[in-house]
């Protein structure tokens, strides 16, 4: 068993400054001490706030203790190993390339202080059975950290092992505790994560900061063109080769969309500049992805069109623009992606959510109004009607369609939608410059742009989130996203919706800090 003295807060601060060269924030100190006290720890803090530091700070005080870090993406593990190597801490990232019998033997012999591994490998690789049965390994194992822990609740459908990570509780000795971190765990997600990992309140320390990122200017923009044309991306990015754009990430929900978007943007660029933008997803080799991220850090490329293979945990301080292309059903997913922006000290950034028109009040009111004119009655209870209002309105039999519902990607759980409409002017653009004092998410839309139904119905449209009681997780998520997308038209500050969804109003305020 590991033997060590529990440090004071002052000792944690001093040692961290000596070894890591930064002064830790109070939540990092509290998290570290709670881990060393052999408690399960749940820490929720903003993207870019330095949660990764809480993985490594306990290693300065727990003797020869080892820890396992379960992470979603191999590229994050490579980043972690490189960071620790600079600090003189031996670590290994178990991937298809590195997970050799020799490495597993070295792990059993406690050669590494940190083992970074995916959920699939830690649960399915039979060589872990040898480690679980090794007394030497057990005696040196300190705890297990779960990075981006909201994935335990949200990714189980397409990565089933995420939903099974609770099995680890039965495989490790009782002294091994769980350390759970994320920027996006609203109450429903947190409750599910606790249940799956069998976390008990009497042995758990919870640290919950507001995850608001006031330095990111949030814009929700309704698409003006068909999604297939990608013209809305062009009018936002403005890649014409005349001057370098701000460093950016564009997130899509499918691999193919990243490639299609880059090819569309290539049409606007001369041949010598086409290598300034790249697509980036899990189908690319690990070597390619590592080089692409390094090029983005150095400014050798302008930006990436990516899936979560790039975004999850990506820490590049000077990204000034992040775009989410098309609807996503989860505010957790949306804010993880937008949270890749503005991570440097004092950096201001823009997060733009480009969403199909069928999710806007204006479009839904057109369809509902037509049904009323045709004598269609709606006998659905009021609460269910409000939930249904968050979905694109599908045409009934015999009705003229205003949108087309496309197939989903197997992950988002929601169809896509397109609206046949008059194209916007080619010159219509999204203004992405930020002026001091201008905050779109808290500004009501001018009256002359309000939808007729909104002005007539007033408070009939929901402006705050309901109690989740009686709702499925999917229904609650859909409701929350609907209010967020349409907040400005309903006269609601968009940040108030965010704060209510994530429970920020009940938590402490976040102040800037260094991040490893």
190 in the same domain as 55: yes
User: DSSP assignment, residue 219?
Assistant: E
d(CA 111, CA 106): 5
170 in the same domain as 221: no
221 in the same domain as 106: no
pLDDT band at 79 (very low <50, low <70, confident <90, very high): confident
The yes-or-no verdict on residue 403 having pLDDT over 90 is: no
CB burial of residue 282 (10 Å; 0-12, 13-18, 19+):
middle
309 in the same domain as 162: no
In whole numbers, what is the pLDDT of the chain averaged over residues? Answer: 83
Q: In what helix (H) or strand (E) does residue 418 lie, and over which residues does it extend?
A: strand 416-419
Final residue before a domain boundary, out of 321, 337, 358:
358
Least confidently predicted of 37-51, 212-226, 460-474: 460-474
How far is CA 315 from each of CA 29, 150, 349, 397, 435, rounded to the nearest angstrom?
21, 18, 14, 49, 26
> Domain for residue 142, yes or no?
yes
Least confidently predicted of 12-21, 222-231, 288-297, 442-451: 442-451
pTM of the model: 0.82
48 in the same domain as 80: yes
pLDDT band at 368 (very low <50, low <70, confident <90, very high): low
Reference 433, options 323, 334, 320, 276; nearest CA is: 320
Q: What's the average model confidence in pLDDT over 207-216?
A: 95
CB burial of residue 363 (10 Å; 0-12, 13-18, 19+):
buried
Domain residues for the domain of 46 are 9-208
Q: What's the average model confidence in pLDDT over 56-71?
A: 95
267 in the same domain as 186: no
Q: pLDDT over 90 for what percent of the chain?
A: 64
Helices (H), 227-270: 231-237, 255-266
> Domain for residue 13, yes or no?
yes
Reference 474, options 192, 222, 219; nearest CA is: 192
Three-state secondary structure call for residue 92: strand
What is the distance of C-alpha 165 from the center of its chain?
19
The tens digit of pLDDT for each residue in 453-494 reads: 344 444 478 889 988 888 888 899 999 999 999 999 999 999
The yes-or-no verdict on residue 293 having pLDDT over 70 is: yes
pLDDT band at 399 (very low <50, low <70, confident <90, very high): very low
Q: Residue by residue, what is the 3-state secondary structure of 126-155?
A: CHHHHHHCCHHHHHHEEEEEECCCCHHHHC
The tens digit of pLDDT for each residue in 132-190 reads: 999 999 999 999 999 999 999 988 777 899 999 999 999 999 999 999 999 999 999 99
d(CA 203, CA 206): 10
User: DSSP assignment, residue 454?
Assistant: H
349 in the same domain as 255: yes
The yes-or-no verdict on residue 408 having pLDDT over 60 is: no
Instruction: Count the helix, strand and coil residues of the chain and give each as a percent rounded to the nearest 5.
Output: 40, 15, 45
Final residue before a domain boundary, out of 181, 208, 235:
208
Highest mean pLDDT among 263-267, 361-365, 471-475: 263-267
**Domains contained in the chain, number:** 2
pLDDT for 373: 64
pLDDT for 382: 55
pLDDT band at 242 (very low <50, low <70, confident <90, very high): confident
Sheet holding 303-306, edge to edge: 216-222, 349-355, 321-325, 248-251, 303-306, 277-280
| CATH number of the domain enclosing 59 | 3.40.50.300
Least confidently predicted of 175-184, 199-208, 375-384, 422-431: 422-431
Least confidently predicted of 209-218, 370-379, 427-436: 427-436
The yes-or-no verdict on residue 448 having pLDDT over 80 is: no
289 in the same domain as 169: no
For 25-125, list the strands marked E by DSSP. 40-44, 66-70, 91-93, 114-117
> Domain for residue 318, yes or no?
yes
225 in the same domain as 146: no
Final residue before a domain boundary, out of 309, 338, 358:
358
Reference 465, options 442, 446, 492; nearest CA is: 492
247 in the same domain as 196: no
pLDDT for 155: 86
159: which 2 tokens?
């990565």
pLDDT for 356: 96
> Domain for residue 203, yes or no?
yes
Least confidently predicted of 87-96, 287-296, 353-362, 385-394: 385-394
């Amino acid at each position: 068993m590991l033997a060590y003295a529990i440090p004071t807060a002052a000792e944690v601060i001093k040692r961290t400054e000596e070894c890591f060269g930064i002064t830790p924030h109070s939540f990092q100190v509290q998290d570290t001490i709670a881990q060393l006290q052999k408690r399960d720890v749940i820490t929720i803090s903003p993207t870019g706030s330095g949660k990764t530091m809480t993985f490594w700070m306990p290693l300065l005080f727990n003797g020869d203790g080892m820890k396992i870090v379960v992470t979603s993406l191999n590229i994050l593990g490579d980043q972690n190993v490189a960071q620790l190597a600079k600090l003189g801490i031996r670590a290994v990232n178990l991937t298809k390339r590195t997970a050799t019998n020799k490495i597993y033997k070295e792990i059993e012999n406690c050669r590494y202080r940190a083992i970074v591994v995916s959920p699939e490998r830690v649960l399915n690789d039979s060589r872990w059975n040898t480690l679980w049965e090794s007394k030497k390994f057990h005696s040196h194992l300190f705890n297990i950290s779960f990075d981006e822990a909201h994935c335990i609740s949200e990714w189980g459908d397409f990565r089933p092992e995420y939903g099974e990570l609770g099995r680890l509780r039965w495989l490790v000795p009782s002294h091994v505790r769980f350390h759970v971190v994320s920027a996006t765990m609203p109450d429903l997600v947190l409750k599910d994560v606790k249940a799956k990992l069998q976390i008990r309140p009497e042995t758990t320390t919870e640290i919950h900061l507001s995850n608001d990122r006031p330095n990111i200017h949030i814009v929700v923009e309704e698409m003006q063109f068909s999604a297939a044309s990608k013209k809305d991306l062009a009018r936002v990015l403005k890649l014409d080769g005349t001057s370098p754009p701000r460093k950016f990430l564009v997130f899509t929900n499918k691999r193919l969309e990243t490639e299609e978007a880059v090819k569309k943007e290539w049409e606007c660029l001369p041949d010598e500049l086409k290598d300034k933008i790249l697509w980036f997803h899990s189908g690319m080799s690990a070597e390619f992805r590592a080089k692409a991220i390094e090029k983005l850090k150095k400014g050798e490329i302008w930006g990436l069109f990516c899936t979560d293979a790039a975004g999850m945990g990506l820490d590049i301080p000077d990204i000034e623009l992040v775009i989410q292309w098309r609807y996503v059903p989860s505010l957790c997913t949306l804010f993880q992606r937008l949270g890749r922006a503005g991570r440097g000290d004092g950096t201001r950034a823009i997060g733009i959510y480009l969403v199909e028109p069928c999710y806007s009040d204006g479009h839904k009111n057109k369809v509902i109004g037509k049904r009323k004119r045709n004598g269609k009655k709606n006998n659905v209870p009021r609460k269910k009607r409000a939930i249904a209002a968050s979905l694109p309105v599908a045409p009934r039999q015999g009705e003229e369609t205003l949108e087309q519902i496309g197939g989903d990607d197997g992950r988002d759980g929601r169809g896509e939608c397109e609206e046949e409409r008059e194209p916007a002017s080619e010159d219509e653009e999204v203004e992405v410059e930020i002026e001091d004092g201008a905050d779109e998410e808290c500004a009501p839309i001018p009256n002359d742009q309000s939808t007729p139904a909104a002005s007539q119905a007033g408070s009939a449209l929901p402006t705050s989130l309901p109690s989740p009681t009686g709702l499925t997780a999917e229904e609650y998520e859909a409701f929350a996203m609907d209010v967020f997308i349409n907040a400005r038209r309903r006269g609601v500050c968009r940040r108030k919706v965010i704060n209510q969804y994530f429970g920020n109003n009940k938590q402490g305020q976040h102040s800037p800090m260094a991040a490893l």
